[in-house]
Structure 1
Amino acid sequence: MNFNLTDVQQEFVKLAKDFGEKKLAPTITERDHQGIFDRALVDEMLSLGLAGAYFEEKYGGAECDVLSYILAVEELAKYDAGMSITLSAHVSLCINPIWQFGTEEQKEKYLPGLIEGTKLGAFGLTEPNAGTDASGQQTVATKDENGDYILNGSKVFITNAGEADVYIVFAMTDKSQGTKGISAFIIEKGWEGFTFGKKEDKLGIHTSQTMELVFQNVKVPKENLLGGEGKGFKVAMMTLDGGRIGVAAQALGIAEAALNDAVEYSKQRVQFGKPLCKFQSVSFKLADMKMKIEAARNLVYKAAFLKHEGQPFTVDAAIAKRFASDVAMEVSVEAVQIFGGYGYSEEYPVARHMRDAKITQIYEGTNEVQLMVTSGALLR
């Protein structure tokens, strides 16, 4: 495939790069160490138009392509992996399902604010006892006499929770039907009975906010049912397919940042009378890191291309997510090794890259799930 970037795609990269260099890089160490989710920075990032890359102009989008968006996620991750996943969750997990499954009324109501960045989005599927196995949902939605829904339950590990204005939430509307009894809803922050619980203290991505959602008799208008009753599992799985490309792009950016830091350090650090990079054990390690990153890049960009073209991309997204996240972990660990004792210190960024990389192997479906998806398609 030809991955020569178009002028438009290059402009998305430039927007993300400039924002990363000028606004994220100067404060990332402080925000990471203190666990600061900076809503003003998020709003500024969204105001650049990065969220609207592949959506129609009538909803406020740029009507370009999926790769433009993925490139922005990748670029942001080089400077701040938390900001990168904030954008990815906003677009892939909130805007996209409304765009893909919503009624025209739902699209007109929610998409413009989300795409233009005046509203922030989130996605609530995971529960304490329903992680990889989404069929274990305990959150329920029952109909009242007017046909509206009453929502009760909780969700955990929700990216952007507490700050997001719009949430895609999944609940059982018919427990007897298993996964066919799951429905999806569009929920707004501020509705009576909708509150937030525990804020997670995480290993990495400290600049991304992760919290619990709590629903106590939350009245959801029937107009906010997304995709039809009993269609929630389909909505969730198809949404996660796209989300996996975003996580793969985040992982790619983290790996690139770790490699760049390791290359620069290896040129400057002198041991036994010469720079580290002059030792074959180090230079070959750097070469291996570069090769893995380039292989990951091709997988990620291919998955984005297929999604944009409307071709089947489920398996390609699973492969890209699995491979890119493994590369992010491997490359960041090797970067720490090249830095030696300094790499284990929070004084240098490679420690942050390693902490941030780990979650990419877990969320949007663990890497074991990606193997299940891939092998399932092979053996069908």
Structure 2
Amino acid sequence: MIPRVALQRVSRPLASSCNAARNYATSSASGPVSFGLNDDQRAIDDLSRTFAREKIVPAAAELDRTMEYPWAILKEAHAAGLMNTHVAEEYGGPGLGMVECSIISENLGFGCTGVQTAIEANGLAEAPLIVGASHELKMKYLGRMTETPLVASYAVTEPGAGSDVAAIKTKAVKEGDKWVINGTKMWMCSTNRRSTNSGHANWFFVLAVTDPSAGVKGLTGFVVEADTPGITPGRKEINMGQRCSDTRMVTFQDVVVPQENVIGAVGEGFKLAMKAFDITRPLVAAGAVGLAQRALEEATKYAQERKTMGKAIIDHQGVGFMLADMAVNAEAARALVWKSAWVKDAGQRNSYYASMAKLYASRAAVENASTGVQVFGGIGFNTEMPMEKLFRDSKIFELYEGTSQIQRLVISRHLPGLYPA
């Protein structure tokens, strides 16, 4: 199990989950900034890295082929303490900081980003509660997630409203001491599923319009039990990559939600959703780093084994330079992820760095997967090789949790305040 660590992050040392980088790192801090592991982080890194390589990697290709939801792995991850990692101790979680959670997400992403997405979907649904829910809601819903292997879902995106959250059409109307929700949500992860060992239903974070005249200030967040009458899940979507993660449309028709399930105040839903991204975007970016690292390792190993013109292809400058670029991509992306996580753990708003990390790590994943296919050559295009799956899995990182264009928009809007004319 993961050790319960004190959240004193400002001077806490870090380390790469990449074996090569670890060889160059020191395990003790020699100044205010260090890339060395402390004992707790070393235990977390070793646990999650071993879990990914022993449990996820061997199953990834078959899960991709069958598109089966990875329940068995999720149960093992829950038992090992690798799910719900940023839930506070008072609600049954390990209360890890963003840095530790990023290390875990990278290692899970190394194993399979479809599995990592299935696990991280919980974090996305939980984040609005963490930043804005009452103690009672947190105890009820976050506590439930830590007690047994359940999944929750983040219901914001709609068929006609993705990056433009203000354009959502799902409405919640107050009727007495209850709210009635009507609308359709899209691309919801792990929806309406039950653990085979549990009778507990999962739940949704739902963002709905409560005041159509107020723009983004007219949006409110709700916790909605998945077995509430009126909730209808659609078919599983067949996606290009990350096929073992479950995404589908869900329709809400006259779904009744009690007043106590409003998160924060009425009209604060958009603010909650955006604050949640400060937690989730670094962790999604960490998953992208894991894929970029996996592509680098697979390509480097293959380049040492494959020979042309009498020598290993890694010794041909054209291939060696591609691998060098892949290594830079992975290391630079990881550094941005850690910066965004460190800023959050230091108690500062990290939206600027979270968007930077998400933007760069997404690009690193796509570029490393594409370059990895090139290193493998024709066989890299074949489903028997890992690069083909990595290539398909990588693209979604530039799309979900805010497209790369949205990340650029967030970053650019911070710049005038940082560098006033």
TM range (shorter): over 0.9
Task: Look up the equivalent residue of 2:266 and give its one-letter code.
Answer: E
Q: In structure 2, the residue corresponding to 1:201 is in which secondary structure?
A: coil
Task: Look up the equivalent residue of 1:220 and give its one-letter code.
Answer: V
Deviation sequence 1:286-340 (CA, Å, 0-9, x none): 1111012111111001111111221120000000000010011111100000000
Q: Is the 8 A contact 1:47 1:116 kept in 2?
A: no
In the alignment, structure 1 residue 306 sits paired with structure 2 residue 343: yes
Aligned to 1:247: 284
Q: In structure 2, the residue corresponding to 1:131 is in which secondary structure?
A: coil
1-structure distance, mates of 2:362, 2:416: 24
1-structure distance, mates of 2:407, 2:373: 27
Q: Is the 8 A contact 1:46 1:116 kept in 2?
A: no
Aligned to 2:191: 161
Q: Match for 2:130 among 75, 99, 102?
A: 99
Q: Match for 1:331 among 368, 375, 393?
A: 368
1-structure distance, mates of 2:85, 2:158: 31
In the alignment, structure 1 residue 216 sits paired with structure 2 residue 277: no
Task: Look up the equivalent residue of 1:331 and give its one-letter code.
Answer: N
Task: Look up the equivalent residue of 2:338 and give its one-letter code.
Answer: Y
1:105 Cα deviation (Å)?
A: 0.8
- Structure 1 unaligned residues grouped into runs of 5+: none
Aligned to 1:48: 80
Deviation sequence 1:97-123 (CA, Å, 0-9, x none): 212211011111111121344321210
1-structure distance, mates of 2:193, 2:99: 27
Q: Is the 8 A contact 1:83 1:207 kept in 2?
A: yes
Q: In structure 2, the residue corresponding to 1:47 is in which secondary structure?
A: helix
Q: In structure 2, the residue corresponding to 1:213 is in which secondary structure?
A: strand
Aligned to 1:289: 326
2-structure distance, mates of 1:55, 1:4: 25
2-structure distance, mates of 1:232, 1:90: 18
In the alignment, structure 1 residue 147 sits paired with structure 2 residue 184: no
Task: Look up the equivalent residue of 1:94 and give its one-letter code.
Answer: A
Deviation sequence 1:185-216 (CA, Å, 0-9, x none): 00111111112013211000011111111101
2-structure distance, mates of 1:59, 1:51: 13
Aligned to 1:119: 150
2-structure distance, mates of 1:375, 1:214: 35
2-structure distance, mates of 1:284, 1:101: 47
Task: Look up the equivalent residue of 2:353 and give its one-letter code.
Answer: D
Moved more, 181-190 or 113-122: 113-122
Task: Look up the equivalent residue of 1:102 and give its one-letter code.
Answer: A
1:88 Cα deviation (Å)?
A: 1.7
Moved more, 320-329 or 51-60: 51-60
Moved more, 240-249 or 183-192: 240-249
Task: Look up the equivalent residue of 1:23 and give its one-letter code.
Answer: K
Q: Match for 2:386 among 330, 343, 349?
A: 349
Q: Is the 8 A contact 1:89 1:243 kept in 2?
A: no
Task: Look up the equivalent residue of 2:65 and give its one-letter code.
Answer: H
2-structure distance, mates of 1:163, 1:136: 28
Q: Match for 2:53 among 13, 21, 26?
A: 21
Aligned-pair identity in percent equals 35
Task: Look up the equivalent residue of 2:279 and give its one-letter code.
Answer: G
1:55 Cα deviation (Å)?
A: 3.4
2-structure distance, mates of 1:211, 1:54: 26
Q: Is the 8 A contact 2:304 2:312 kept in 1?
A: yes
- Structure 2 unaligned residues grouped into runs of 5+: 1-32, 195-201
Aligned to 1:130: 161
Aligned to 2:218: 181
Q: Is the 8 A contact 1:248 1:321 kept in 2?
A: yes
Q: In structure 1, the residue corresponding to 2:402 is in which secondary structure?
A: coil
Aligned residues: CA RMSD: 1.3
TM-score normalized with structure 1 length: 0.96
Deviation sequence 1:64-102 (CA, Å, 0-9, x none): 3221111111101111111111222211x1222212211
Q: Is the 8 A contact 2:281 2:358 kept in 1?
A: yes
Aligned to 2:409: 372
2-structure distance, mates of 1:208, 1:218: 26
Deviation sequence 1:103-156 (CA, Å, 0-9, x none): 011111111121344321210100011101011111000011x22100100100
Q: Is the 8 A contact 1:51 1:117 kept in 2?
A: no
TM-score normalized with structure 2 length: 0.87
2-structure distance, mates of 1:123, 1:319: 22
Q: In structure 1, the residue corresponding to 2:106 is in which secondary structure?
A: helix
